[in-house]
């Protein structure tokens, strides 16, 4: 399964979106790409593609709660709504959308 995610990330995201975007919008090579520590991001093929295209990476602290502010939101939501079903209903209510069963 990892191989599939890695291939999709490299072939679809990096090759067709990120590399052209960085090349077209940062002509002086001063763009910085931010990735987390997900396996597709740290795979050798990913790192090689980034290096081959001279893309700079932002140094990223692994699992830092300060770097993931959404985690504070989820924590507060989970404390306020003790069950997933109820949390999902609250999220849908807040956003004004109809909830569908997604295994959430």
Sign of the torsion angle spanned by Cα atoms 36, 39, 87, 92: positive
pTM over the 0.85 mark: no
Residue extents of the structural domains in the chain: 2-57, 64-104
Q: Is 36:61 a contact under the CB 8 Å cutoff?
A: no
Euclidean distance between CA atoms 10 and 17, whole angstroms? 10
Q: What angle do CA 51, 56, 58 make, to 5 degrees?
A: 125
Question: Based on C-alpha coordinates, what's the Rg of the chain?
Answer: 18
Which pLDDT tens digit goes with each residue over 43-76?
999 999 999 999 999 877 666 656 666 666 666 7
Tens digit of each residue's pLDDT (9 = 90 or more) over 5-53? 778 889 999 999 999 999 999 988 888 998 888 888 889 999 999 999 9
pLDDT at 35: 87
């Amino acid at each position: 399964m990892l191989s599939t995610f890695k291939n999709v990330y490299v072939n679809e995201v990096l090759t067709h979106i990120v590399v052209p975007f960085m090349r077209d919008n940062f002509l002086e090579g001063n763009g910085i790409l931010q990735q987390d520590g997900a396996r597709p991001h740290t795979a050798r093929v990913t790192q090689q593609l980034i290096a081959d295209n001279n893309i700079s990476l932002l140094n990223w602290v692994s699992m830092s709660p300060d770097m993931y502010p959404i985690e504070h939101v989820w924590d507060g939501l989970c404390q306020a709504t003790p069950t997933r079903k109820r949390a999902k209903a609250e999220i849908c209510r807040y956003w004004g959308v109809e909830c569908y069963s997604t295994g959430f």
